[in-house]
Amino acid sequence: MSNCAIVGINWGDEGKGRMVDYLTQQYDVVVRYQGGGNAGHTVINEKGKFALHLLPSGIFRSGVMNILGNGVALDCENLLKEIDTVRQGGVDITPENLLVSERASLLLPWHRELDALEEQRLKDKKYGSTKQGIAPFYSDKYQKKTKTLWKASSRRPPTTTLCSSPTSARFTSSKGTKFPRRPGTPAGARSSIFCNSIPAKRSRRSFPCPNAAKAI
């Protein structure tokens, strides 16, 4: 298995989304392990021009599994809007190409409100936040105050490994996790790409998306 990590070190606008879209042609799995919808990844390809905020840029490639990991600030309201927008552009998004970790914490409306109030309080010393609630969200996360997806859905705690999906036999738990292989890919030739991620930070169990997100 070959892995590739794309990690940004600046304020943004570094082309990470475009690079992931380009490199995904050579990979089977794209994992977004952290971050939120405070910025946009502009991707221009044969399908058109798209501005992504939460969806991994590998969503445009056929046969690629995209995963929102446990470190992502999961804003379900904006995620569903983004899924609808991308679908309108002719891109299929189903549980066959998008999974969401049950361990991902939820970004909730009051995180956005707190973000806006903090900018208002700072006045001329404000940071220039996009007011998407990212800073208050991660403050709560590190204080262990957030709600994870599995808690919000009243499901049992996740205990299996990466991408074991209750709706697809192609995803297996414990050792030897299997992903759908692209047509023509030799057996055993698995590869993955991680955007802003560390492979060791993989989540334990994943929801098929978007149905699981809608269940909230």
Which are the catalytic amino acids? 13, 41
* 111/134 Cα distance (integer angstroms): 7
β-bridge mates for residue 2, sequence order: 191
Structure tokens that stand for 184 in this block? 């023509």
Residue 140: phi, psi to the nearest 5? -65, -40
Contact 116, 130 (CB under 8 A): no
| Burial class of residue 155, CB neighbours in 10 A (0-12, 13-18, 19+) | middle
Say which amino acid occupies 42. Answer: T
13 secondary structure, DSSP code: -
* 113/147 Cα distance (integer angstroms): 17
